[in-house]
Structure 1
Amino acid sequence: MFMPFTYKHDVQIEFGPGKTKDIAESVKAENAGKAMLVIDKDLRKLHIADEICAALTENNIAYCIFDDFTPNPSVLSVDSCAKQIRAEHCEIIIAIGGGSSMDVGKGAAVIATNEGGIMDYMYLRKDNAKVPEHPLLPVIAVPTTSGTGSEVSECIVLIDTDNIKDVMYSSILLPKYAYVDPELTYKMPASICANTGLDVLGHALEAYIATLENIMADLFAKEAIKLTFQYLPKAVSGDKEARIYMALASMYAGIAQSKNGCVLPHAVSCPLSASYGVPHGLGVGVAQIPNIEYTRDVCAEQYKQILDYIDPLAHEVPADEAADGLIEKIKTLFTAVGVDMKLDIGAVDKAVITKMSREALLEIDIEGSPRQPVTQEDVEAFYYKMLKL
């Protein structure tokens, strides 16, 4: 049965090598007199933003920089950024980097024009969550990794004051512009390329089986999966053409997960990132096979559709065996990019597993799982499969 759908995605995408040279034109189009650049300290040391800063200066556009945040940024960093935006009278935000930079920039766009702190607007506030009353500052998102797809997504992910990862979902969080310039990923280390590439795979696989369903998003998800299997190993080895295609895959997957949502792998990865510093994409990637095993009986047809799309030789595989074929491809991918399929976070006992499982069950991604209800025992089983014990 054909499912009706509505599709709207209000972000102007500028994709291609060298595209960042044109950012000043978008700033001028917004009549912004001063820009806030959000970029982490490590990227500043690599001079990633130098060309953007030079373009702003050449066009007589003033700017200041906020870099006081870490990977897996906190709500406090967002509030601090918004405070500086107001003090400096900035009228546009340029978020440069991976998901952390873009989450800080997008979150600050909310608080710069609205009351309270960003935590007041997040998912775990439940019925007490505030809704922004005033328009947000425009955001220009400039990814330097191919992973989160935050430049085209309607969400932010932050660690709250209880050290729990929380999210805010709203179409108003979409950046006004996304400048996806693959040249900015050329200096990305192989390990980061691998981890963020696994995040792309996770976004796409999870969006395709999530209970929210949009046929346009499904198409983006399948293409992102295909591109990731085809190009991630070459991208990790430094091939520039492959990194261009991974930037495209990341954007596609970002759109897919923004519309359809994610499921259990994202939920179980959040406590690992918040408490143990596990890179988000790595945690998500390692959780993919346990999730396919967990959902194979309720998602057999979806896994068959994915396998057929990415492998023309798989058309003879029965639907009930497609999950096995997909699992084998993921195992091969992990080997090709040099990533261990188990996470080492040190000594782990039953109490740690229980604590992480309870935190994971708070995440919104649990709601999108096609297999319900999701129990604490189910989530604990994920950790036992994912961790070196």
Structure 2
Amino acid sequence: MAHRMIWNQTAHFGAGSISVIPGELVGRGFSKALVVSDRALVDAGVTARVTDLLDAADFSYEVFSDVLPNPPIANVQAGVAAFRASHADVLVAVGGGSPQDTCKAIGIVVANPEFADVRSLEGGAATANPSVPIVAVPTTAGTASETTINYVITDPERRRKFVCFDPHAIPVLAVVDSDMMAGAPRALKVATGLDALTHAIEGYTTLGAWELSDLFHLKAIQVIAASLRAAADGDDAAAERMALAQYVAGMGYSNVGLGLVHAMAHPLGAFYEAPHGVANGILLAPVMAFNAEHTGEKYRDIAAAFGVEDAATMPLDAARAAAVEAVATLTTDLGNPRSVRDVGATEADLPALAQAASDDVCAGGNPRPASVAEIEELYRSIL
């Protein structure tokens, strides 16, 4: 069977690594950047850590800071207009998943204007041209958008999020600097860390998984299980491990897909603006339990990665239960909500949520097929 793996041309890692950005831009022949970020990061001085470097290097740039959480179509279109007006030739994304995804969509639409409606990018759109070059600087240890071909946009009119996957969208350069993540609030570190764990576990068990992607995902699970609690509480060394682990998970899932956790989380974001990582954290253990009998020996590996004693020798059913319990315990310890009602879900909305999840492209990768009725019952079980 043939497989394809796509990653960045170049990536830099480690505290202080943003220092390479001006030299990389000049060395690649760029002359002006549009820096895509959000207002909170600008106000907190996080974006300035990159733009100060550009100032010191006398590298020209403008800032587009209107990115919203769960970025809507109009946000992308405004960014496209800003890029064209700036006469820039490179995009620099500074932020978490929302600025990264918005930047990807901007770059794709500028290079492929026939997709200016943005909706037509859903799924694997047949774009002809690579994105405007993107330098991706994440400020959270979660989405790994800096190394994936994926991005997610919200359609408010239709109350849905849609996933786009396009090899043309991958940033040419990623700079994964844990110092850029250090000032994030604890709740954000928890949410993005649970997003990274979900990527690793779903990527490990998705139908598209294979030996090479398994290497990335299993290592990411091991590091996240050992590091997320400490990273959330401000441990710098653990934060640097989380920054790397979420990137490693992205190297895998971007190429093999995800599953029902993401399919069910996306409607929670579209309906209630639930933070994506929070929604994943609520759903991960319950969906793992739903999938357990369709995952072969992989939950045994997950249990071992979490340090479960005798995971390698206990009966398979026990190992599967132990993996689910380890994830549930971590989620509880971190203080993430455990009910979809906590992010706004209501009994009346469950049928629409279930249909939206069933229609989501991520559902197709789930190891266990799930009907709309089964998805609705899953939501109800954690209402």
The TM-score normalised by the length of structure 1 is 0.93
Q: 1:80 is matched with which residue? A: 78
Of 217, 223, 227, which aligns to 2:223?
A: 227
- Residue 296 of structure 1 aligns to a residue whose secondary structure is helix
**Residue pair 1:107, 1:118 contacting (<8 A) in 2 also:** no
**Residue pair 1:92, 1:138 contacting (<8 A) in 2 also:** yes
- Residue 193 of structure 1 aligns to a residue whose secondary structure is helix
Q: 2:121 is matched with which residue? A: 122
**CA displacement at 1:312 relative to structure 2:** 6.8
Give, in whole Å, the separation in 2 of the partners of 1:252 and 1:137.
Answer: 24
1:208 aligns with 2:207: no
**CA displacement at 1:118 relative to structure 2:** 5.3
1:217 to 1:385, Cα distance in 2 relative to 1, 3 A: same
Q: 2:131 is matched with which residue? A: 136
Q: 2:249 is matched with which residue? A: 253
| Residue ranges of structure 1 left out of the alignment (5+ in a row) | none
1:4 to 1:346, Cα distance in 2 relative to 1, 3 A: closer
1:18 to 1:346, Cα distance in 2 relative to 1, 3 A: closer
Give, in whole Å, the separation in 2 of the partners of 1:104 and 1:4.
Answer: 31
Give, in whole Å, the separation in 2 of the partners of 1:223 and 1:59.
Answer: 38
- Residue 159 of structure 1 aligns to a residue whose secondary structure is strand
Of 102, 105, 126, which aligns to 2:103?
A: 105
Give, in whole Å, the separation in 1 of the partners of 2:319 and 2:161.
Answer: 33
One-letter amino acid matched to 2:72: S
1:305 aligns with 2:301: yes
Which deviates the most, 7-16 or 99-108? 7-16
**Residue pair 2:125, 2:164 contacting (<8 A) in 1 also:** no
Q: Write the deviation string for residues 68-90 of structure 1: whole angstroms up to 9, x where unpaired.
A: 12100012211211111111111
Q: 1:175 is matched with which residue? A: 171
Q: Write the deviation string for residues 123-157 of structure 1: whole angstroms up to 9, x where unpaired.
A: 26xxxx85222332110010000110101111110
Count of aligned pairs between the two proteins: 379
One-letter amino acid matched to 1:104: T
Give, in whole Å, the separation in 1 of the partners of 2:119 and 2:272.
Answer: 25
Give, in whole Å, the separation in 2 of the partners of 1:133 and 1:375.
Answer: 35
Q: 1:148 is matched with which residue? A: 143
Give, in whole Å, the separation in 1 of the partners of 2:209 and 2:296.
Answer: 16
Q: 1:365 is matched with which residue? A: 362
Of 54, 61, 65, which aligns to 2:52?
A: 54
Give, in whole Å, the separation in 2 of the partners of 1:252 and 1:223.
Answer: 8
Q: 2:337 is matched with which residue? A: 340
Give, in whole Å, the separation in 2 of the partners of 1:103 and 1:112.
Answer: 14
- Residue 135 of structure 1 aligns to a residue whose secondary structure is coil
One-letter amino acid matched to 1:123: E
One-letter amino acid matched to 1:221: H
**Residue pair 1:263, 1:365 contacting (<8 A) in 2 also:** yes
One-letter amino acid matched to 1:236: A
**CA displacement at 1:318 relative to structure 2:** 1.7
Which deviates the most, 303-312 or 159-168? 303-312
- Residue 297 of structure 1 aligns to a residue whose secondary structure is helix
Which deviates the most, 129-138 or 227-236? 129-138
**Residue pair 2:285, 2:325 contacting (<8 A) in 1 also:** no
Give, in whole Å, the separation in 2 of the partners of 1:241 and 1:277.
Answer: 32
One-letter amino acid matched to 2:328: K
1:39 to 1:346, Cα distance in 2 relative to 1, 3 A: closer
**CA displacement at 1:307 relative to structure 2:** 2.2
**CA displacement at 1:317 relative to structure 2:** 1.6
**CA displacement at 1:5 relative to structure 2:** 4.5
Of 277, 285, 289, which aligns to 1:281?
A: 277
| Residue ranges of structure 2 left out of the alignment (5+ in a row) | none
